[in-house]
Amino acid sequence: MKALLLENIHPAAVARLEEAGYEVELRKGSMSEDELLAALPGVSVLGIRSNTHLTDKVFAGAPDLDAVGCFCIGTNQVDLPAATAHSVAVFNAPHSNTRSVVELVIGEIIMLARRLAEKTTRMHDGVWDKSAAGSHEIRGRTLGIVGYGNIGSQLSVVAEALAMRVVYFDIADRLAHGNARRMGSLEELLATADVVSLHVDGRPGNAGLFGPVFFDLMKPRSLFINASRGMLVDTEALRERILSGHIAGAAMDVFPIEPKAQGDRFDSPLRGLDNVILTPHVGGSTQEAQEEIGHFVSGKLVGYARHGSTELSVNLPAAGTAPEPGTHRVTLLHQNVPGVLAEVNNAFAEAGVNILGQALATRGEQGYVVTDVAAPLDAGTVEALRAMPQTVLLRTMSAPAA
């Protein structure tokens, strides 16, 4: 088995995959569509981060690919319907770098409020600029969090511990943490917050979410932070509001277009502006977070390969914990139509096979059945299950004896 890991994935993932029997190839940067098509023959597991985009053409040209691990939070760089259509399981790390992103945002709030970015730049230029003008404490200020999921809600808790007031808006019904207050609309949040921090996902409907209209609704001299997705923000509109003084400062960790490899040139309309912090998509890039992501995602990939577990897969129905030692497992990815489970169990009954455990999950047009039995299936039963018109992918595996 061969695994290809791109974009400087943590060595913890390499160790986990090699321990599971994979031959691991490492690449420092991302790959283009053509480069992927050339590299993926023979690869069963692909590990990526945010800069590698997996299209339908890539999946169609990678018949050996079983699973993709996104060693990051987001999966918008992956064509998930195409992955599903080609029976490729996709996993990510939805929680592992939460704390790292929160700490970055808290640090940026303090730096922007104290205008530290421009002060340190002037010190490096040899200018002594000791002044309290435009410098504020964050105590008592109102933080507006747009998107109250894992990161937004933990940011809420830490900000309150620093004596900030917190308001939030989310299209989902999220329970408030601490004394945070839910706003009835994004417009209400923007009129209330001294600092606005974005923490929403990269679904297509969110593209261009923050443009001239929402920037103009923000309080005069407020601060703006985006550590979620670059495609959310109209950076030209943000530049205009910073130059006009309507927005007092901004911190951006993600951008609509990002360089593909370490050391590549970076361009943005926000370069060169006072009190603007620009960081190269490092919200989750701490040693602690990357190690945890490496362990977590590689564990999901190994679990899928060894015993067919799709737990926390972002595109396949979720079923299958680790099997009992010495048992044999049959996993069936199938079309989600009535009667499949009955047909599967009838095949087992005709073969005289006793079922020790079984789990069924469905998602959209697909279903996933995981069946544990005491003895291996004979070739005839395996072929009968594989030949069912509803079958998409059939796999058999055995759990080592204790």
Q: What is the DSSP string of 236-299?
A: HHHHHHHHHTSEEEEEES--SS--SSTT-----TTTT-TTEEE-SS-TT-SHHHHHHHHHHHHH
Distance CA 221, CA 373 (A): 66
Q: Which of these is catalytic: 141, 199, 241, 281?
A: 281
Look at the block and give the residue holding tokens 């023959």.
41
Is 136 catalytic? The answer is: no
Q: Which residues pair with 362 in a beta bridge?
A: 367
Q: Is 229 a catalytic residue?
A: yes
Q: What single-letter amino acid sits at 1?
A: M
Q: What type of residue sits at position 253?
A: D
Which residues does residue 47 pair with via DSSP β-bridges, in sequence order? 5, 69
Q: Which amino acid is at 274?
A: D
95 catalytic, yes or no? no
- Beta strands 328-335; 391-398: pairing state: antiparallel
Catalytic residue among 229, 239, 307, 395: 229
The answer to whether 321 and 299 are in contact (CB under 8 A) is no
What's the number of CA atoms in the CB half-sphere (13 Å) around residue 282?
Answer: 11
| Catalytic member of 33, 258, 291, 311 | 258
What positions carry a catalytic annotation? 229, 258, 281
